[in-house]
Structure 1
Amino acid sequence: MRTFLAALLLMPAAVQAQGADAQLKAIYEAEWAWRGAEFGQVQDGLRSKPGPKFAGQTPADWDRRKVHWQGVLKALDAVPTEGLSREERLNKAVLSELIRADVANIGWRTYEAPLNSDSFFWGRVKPYSALDGVEDYRRYLGRLGDVGRFFDENIANMRAGMKRGYTVPRVSLTGRDKTIEPFVVSGAENPLMEPFARMPDSIPAEEQAKLRAEAQRLVDGVAAPAFARLLGFMRTEYMPAARTSIAASALPDGAAFYEDQIREYTTLDLTADEIHAIGLTEVARIDADMKATIAQTGFKGSFPEFLQFLRTDPQFYARSPRELLGHAAYAAKRMDGKLKDVFTTLPRFRFTIVPVPDAIAPIYTSGRGGLAACQFNTYDLKSRPLYNLTALVLHECAPGHSHQAAMALEAPDRPAFRRESYFSGYGEGWGLYTEWLGTKLGMYETPYEEFGRETFEMWRAVRLVIDTGMHSKGWSREQAIEYLASHTALARLDVENEVDRYISWPGQALAYKLGELRIRALRAEAEAALGSKFDQRPFHDALLNMGSVPLPVMESEMRAWIAAEKGKTSVQ
């Protein structure tokens, strides 16, 4: 790796005569190749997939990465931005911000707390999307054999974090140990064996049997014992020693750490006080919208009484997991028929709809969308109201996350790192924007569904208030739970899970509303500038075709698009 790093740092000088674009391309292509090797990824067409080993997690591994990325930043700074083409300027801005955050997190030693209430390093072992062929299975076997080393390195890092008071808050860890339990058993019942229960017909039966037998040997001899060690560590050491405070500001140099997390997840230079104020303004605005929608339902009673009605009336809840998934699939298919009104170009890659895995469902969010699948939580159906489901489908599936990921993957003339980059402000802002877009497309068929959309928008506005409240203003967990519960129709289980997520993941919750506000402001600018010539389809094409970018980059690019479109109309 040292030799490769030295070559990377010398590369801009070696190609300087070819111009700024060539210099930059040499840097990001070399960095992407280094990253793939460093983190054990293999390239499969347009996508990266996990390789046969987990990335090293030792402090020395992270220190080496920090040195490498500092060198990359130095090399990027040496490339004159004014000499770059428009697309390469985008590439430089994206890579610079990605690596800035990487370097900052290593500086904070965030690897010493490699989990939060929502996501855990042990959740990366079992693949939750299909394995495509024999090489995928062999790489999975390699990872099964590497689980012990991977877990032990993470445990060592967590012990180092414990010594300096850098842990996940104890309250947000409640029940998370239970997600480890299913994986400690030997035999075919271990969930790690599920990918071998039904293998592709392209793999001969004899080969399937060999792969299955090797998997069982590795699960019984390596992986299950590693999960058992991890479970013991979590229950006897980590959870009892985890900090009782909830604020990021309570961590070592916590105020500065929280500022940096705000920058990472929003890519904006906003203070916690500024974000808190934006949140209060949005909460007041959406509250008025919600009360107007209640009036449309004909309900006679107070706002709290209406929330209680929604949370308890059986008409709003599925009677079986299949019924809930059916409602989600119906909403997704209805949206499928409207995509032609939203975009001029559609991706080929398609997503499926699946339930959240049982092992994590009790502490998982209501839905999660990605390139290959859109997950919906069918655990505790009385906490999964159907009136929220249309908004959730739009956000997580299409035209939200699954669709956006496919567009980024298939966008033309895009370096590999751009296809897989993700900025929360852009991605989550787009997801929330698509919920609002559903109002323009006739997706909400009843006032209750519209109230469900509004409660989701309120949920994201409330996040601005309670995330900054807990991490910089001394709010308690109970205060945050009450604030979220009193302003939305979210079920109590969702409210508590969400607040615990914000406690353990400072700053991430701010991305949604701040990103959506900027996208809607850009649309308003486009509508004002173009008047009757405004067409939302090319606007959305331009927005998604740039891929995931920092919000300031998104704004400058879309304003350039607006100016170009205005120039076209003035010539006509």
Structure 2
Amino acid sequence: MNEFPKVSGLLLVVLLTVPVLTRTSPAQAPKPSFDARRLDAFYAAEWEYELEHHPELATYVGDTRFNDRLSDYSAEEQAREATHAAEQLRRLRAMSTNGLDNQETISREMMLRQLAASVESYRLKEWEMPVSQMNGVHLDLASMYSQMPFRTVRDYRNYISRLRQAPRVFAQETAVMRLGMRDHLMEPRYLLEKVAVQANDIAASTPDKSPFAMPLAQFPKEISPTDQAKIRTELLDVIRQDVLPAYARFAVFVRETYAPAGRTEPGIWALPNGEELYRNAIREHVQTTMDGDAIFAEGMREVKEIQKQMLALAETQGFHDLTSFNAHILTDPKLHATSAKQLMGLYRHYEDQSQAKLLEVVPVAPKLRLEVVPMDSFRAPTAVPADYSPGSIASGRPGRVNVNLYNPSSRLLLNVEAIAYHEGLPGHHLQFSVADGLKDLPAFRRFASYDAYSEGWALYAEQLGHELGFYQDPYSEYGRLENEMWRSIRLVVDTGVHQKHWTRQQMVDFFKQHTAMDDQNIQTEVDRYISWPGQALSYRLGQQKILDLRAKARARLGKRFDIRQFHACVLSLGPVPLDILDENVTRWIDEQARTH
């Protein structure tokens, strides 16, 4: 899983060149048509609008011009942006498309979809449910420091300016949440109670121990002691006078007013337009024509198939059924973490191991460091075992694998290796770094968010680790298979709760029946699916699309199939919907078949 700033609708890296995709040199390349240049200007103007209206996005991609601002979170701004998207959609549809090449056609199609999705999201009032235990301004502001540069006095001033706006942002978000109460668009009450605890824990911290003071831990040597003292005083004053009181007011509102109005059923079906919201969530996260019933059936089929593989491995360890093997795993202390230090060491070891063999699966590796760091403590209790925060070429910010160190002794070790490859290399870190470096593509494509593509690649990367000869410990291999099971179970429980009216306990029971996952992980997982409908479907369906395309390429090209060039093709498109990925990789396969 990866972390993104609030947006509508990555490590310095050498661009992953794809020799087989380089058709002409720059000197020989045909000039874009008039209509292509006009469309490029449209995309550039739309990207500028996005950056200006979402300063956090600008910071994320390395554009520092708006680092002293925060977004307008008001309902009025939501309406203005929806109106803007509708007008831009009308304009784009009317623009001529003569002379567009393949990449230019992809860009137009993706912009059309993004604008249409913005209009649809506003119509469905998804924006009236802006917070959960997984997402929301209360978490975004607290982790904002990790995205911002702190090299100059100006950088610190920008950060202080943003923090001064916290009261305004919370007031706007609270007003939007009241609209959600009015329209009965609410997360489940028990999850909103977790939001109140998160906000209150941050509000209760002292200014110097709060996450907002993190930039004071180490100043660049270029900033004088005098300026350091001024910055420290001013920043702590802002935290004390503006930020923490805003969090305290927000926590009271959520605990006493908002959470009590939350829905009682876990599934999104219980909302006034719940069925339509879920269909839209599937469309946004997976871009599939499959409906919920078909996805549920696919999940059940995959669960049975992976069970067979898991049982075969269990038998090599002397167990004749998965129930007894899973019980052994859950009770064997050697298979549980003993400390936070041990967890950090394992993740770092596996990232180093993957880095050493990365060029066996791609032509060029990312050059900027990949950091393995502890997850922010205010996120950890309700977060996944680890996640990824993309870096940025423009700002030089490294990519980060954030390791959850909350209650380490409750965490199993068997899936740590697979998660490391998923979040770091050859998973998210590789994919996002390559996308950031695709300078020939419009910026809106390089930084697009398509879960089925990015999470599908990351889950595919777990299997690549197996093909690279990793998972030498049979329990780590079992952990990889359990991760496959985990993602297949998601197809069942996500559609189960949001379409088939499953209870939360049914979700938990299904996990316990089919995995040896620790209870801490199961509890946070089911809550995540409840609060984030459809997102969990993207992993397995995206991975399956990549595997299907690889099988097609291998069958068509035979001995000429080159796994590095196949990966280069997939990654060189940048984040795209699955149907566009399918169409373009199939085109590449056809070209390879013709030219050899």
Q: Confirm or deny a common fold (TM above 0.5).
A: yes
Q: Structure 1: which amino acid aligns with 2:289? A: D
For structure 1, the 5+ residue unaligned runs are: 1-16
Q: Structure 1: which amino acid aligns with 2:42? A: I
C-alpha displacement at 1:74, in angstroms? Answer: 1.6
* Residue 377 of structure 2 is aligned to residue 358 of structure 1: yes
C-alpha displacement at 1:87, in angstroms? Answer: 1.5
* Residue 467 of structure 2 is aligned to residue 440 of structure 1: yes
Aligned position for 2:325: 306
Aligned position for 2:283: 263
* Residue 275 of structure 2 is aligned to residue 248 of structure 1: no
Distance 1:393 1:186, change over 3 A: closer
- Cα distance between partner residues in 2 of 1:115 and 1:42: 18
* Residue 10 of structure 2 is aligned to residue 34 of structure 1: no
Aligned position for 1:4: none
For normalisation by structure 2, the TM-score amounts to 0.89
The answer to whether the Cα contact below 8 Å between 1:93 and 1:553 also exists between their aligned partners in 2 is no
The answer to whether the Cα contact below 8 Å between 2:285 and 2:538 also exists between their aligned partners in 1 is yes
Structure 1 residues 200-215: aligned runs within 5 Å: 200-215=220-235
Aligned position for 1:176: 195
Aligned position for 1:320: 339
More off after superposition, 310-319 vs 37-46: 37-46
The answer to whether the Cα contact below 8 Å between 1:137 and 1:211 also exists between their aligned partners in 2 is yes
Aligned position for 2:19: none
- Cα distance between partner residues in 2 of 1:200 and 1:383: 38
C-alpha displacement at 1:411, in angstroms? Answer: 2.1
- Cα distance between partner residues in 1 of 2:73 and 2:326: 46
More off after superposition, 126-135 vs 210-219: 126-135
- Cα distance between partner residues in 1 of 2:256 and 2:518: 32
Aligned to 1:83, what secondary structure does the other structure show?
coil
C-alpha displacement at 1:239, in angstroms? Answer: 1.5
Aligned position for 2:351: 332
- Cα distance between partner residues in 2 of 1:317 and 1:29: 50
Of residues 115, 118, 127 in structure 2, which corresponds to 1:111?
Answer: 127
Of residues 136, 139, 145 in structure 1, which corresponds to 2:158?
Answer: 139
Aligned position for 2:477: 450
- Cα distance between partner residues in 2 of 1:345 and 1:328: 23
Of residues 297, 310, 322 in structure 2, which corresponds to 1:290?
Answer: 310
Aligned to 2:207, what secondary structure does the other structure show?
coil
Distance 1:45 1:57, change over 3 A: closer
- Cα distance between partner residues in 1 of 2:505 and 2:435: 40
- Cα distance between partner residues in 1 of 2:468 and 2:437: 25
Q: Structure 2: which amino acid aligns with 1:489? A: A
The answer to whether the Cα contact below 8 Å between 1:27 and 1:75 also exists between their aligned partners in 2 is no
After the TM superposition, which parts of structure 1 deviate over 6 Å for at least 4 consecutive aligned residues?
none
Aligned position for 2:110: 94
Q: Deviations over 1:349-384 (max 9, x none)?
A: 332001111112111111101222111111112332
Of residues 152, 165, 179 in structure 1, which corresponds to 2:171?
Answer: 152
Of residues 99, 112, 121 in structure 1, which corresponds to 2:137?
Answer: 121
Of residues 87, 99, 121 in structure 2, which corresponds to 1:71?
Answer: 87
- Cα distance between partner residues in 1 of 2:326 and 2:115: 44
C-alpha displacement at 1:347, in angstroms? Answer: 2.2
- Cα distance between partner residues in 1 of 2:339 and 2:571: 36
Aligned position for 1:492: 519
C-alpha displacement at 1:139, in angstroms? Answer: 1.8
The answer to whether the Cα contact below 8 Å between 2:372 and 2:401 also exists between their aligned partners in 1 is yes
Q: Deviations over 1:34-70 (max 9, x none)?
A: 1111112585796346622221111110111001111
C-alpha displacement at 1:140, in angstroms? Answer: 1.2
The answer to whether the Cα contact below 8 Å between 2:296 and 2:491 also exists between their aligned partners in 1 is yes
The answer to whether the Cα contact below 8 Å between 2:92 and 2:112 also exists between their aligned partners in 1 is yes
* Residue 300 of structure 2 is aligned to residue 280 of structure 1: yes
Of residues 579, 582, 590 in structure 2, which corresponds to 1:555?
Answer: 582
Bigger relative CO (Cα 8 Å, ≥ 6 apart): 2
Q: Structure 2: which amino acid aligns with 1:58? A: S
Distance 1:44 1:303, change over 3 A: closer
C-alpha displacement at 1:307, in angstroms? Answer: 1.2
- Cα distance between partner residues in 2 of 1:94 and 1:560: 18
The answer to whether the Cα contact below 8 Å between 1:21 and 1:83 also exists between their aligned partners in 2 is yes
C-alpha displacement at 1:95, in angstroms? Answer: 2.0
C-alpha displacement at 1:125, in angstroms? Answer: 1.2
C-alpha displacement at 1:301, in angstroms? Answer: 4.9
- Cα distance between partner residues in 1 of 2:562 and 2:388: 27
- Cα distance between partner residues in 2 of 1:559 and 1:80: 27
- Cα distance between partner residues in 2 of 1:301 and 1:259: 41
- Cα distance between partner residues in 2 of 1:262 and 1:42: 24
How many residues end up aligned between the 2 structures? 552
Structure 1 residues 446-525: aligned runs within 5 Å: 446-525=473-552
The answer to whether the Cα contact below 8 Å between 2:453 and 2:576 also exists between their aligned partners in 1 is yes
Aligned to 2:79, what secondary structure does the other structure show?
helix
Q: Deviations over 1:321-341 (max 9, x none)?
A: 111110111011110011010
Aligned to 2:146, what secondary structure does the other structure show?
coil
Distance 1:549 1:42, change over 3 A: closer
The answer to whether the Cα contact below 8 Å between 2:170 and 2:246 also exists between their aligned partners in 1 is yes
Aligned to 1:386, what secondary structure does the other structure show?
coil
- Cα distance between partner residues in 2 of 1:43 and 1:128: 14
C-alpha displacement at 1:522, in angstroms? Answer: 0.2
* Residue 208 of structure 2 is aligned to residue 188 of structure 1: yes
The answer to whether the Cα contact below 8 Å between 1:130 and 1:195 also exists between their aligned partners in 2 is no
- Cα distance between partner residues in 2 of 1:489 and 1:81: 54
Of residues 4, 21, 35 in structure 1, which corresponds to 2:36?
Answer: 21
C-alpha displacement at 1:547, in angstroms? Answer: 0.8
The answer to whether the Cα contact below 8 Å between 1:129 and 1:373 also exists between their aligned partners in 2 is no
- Cα distance between partner residues in 1 of 2:248 and 2:258: 14
For structure 2, the 5+ residue unaligned runs are: 1-31, 391-398
Q: Structure 1: which amino acid aligns with 2:151? A: G
The answer to whether the Cα contact below 8 Å between 2:311 and 2:320 also exists between their aligned partners in 1 is no
- Cα distance between partner residues in 2 of 1:491 and 1:74: 50
C-alpha displacement at 1:523, in angstroms? Answer: 0.3
Of residues 35, 54, 66 in structure 1, which corresponds to 2:70?
Answer: 54
Of residues 359, 373, 378 in structure 1, which corresponds to 2:405?
Answer: 378
Distance 1:256 1:42, change over 3 A: closer
- Cα distance between partner residues in 1 of 2:369 and 2:438: 15
Distance 1:45 1:324, change over 3 A: closer
- Cα distance between partner residues in 2 of 1:41 and 1:472: 34
Aligned to 1:131, what secondary structure does the other structure show?
coil
The answer to whether the Cα contact below 8 Å between 1:530 and 1:565 also exists between their aligned partners in 2 is yes
C-alpha displacement at 1:96, in angstroms? Answer: 2.2
Q: Structure 1: which amino acid aligns with 2:202? A: F
C-alpha displacement at 1:83, in angstroms? Answer: 3.2
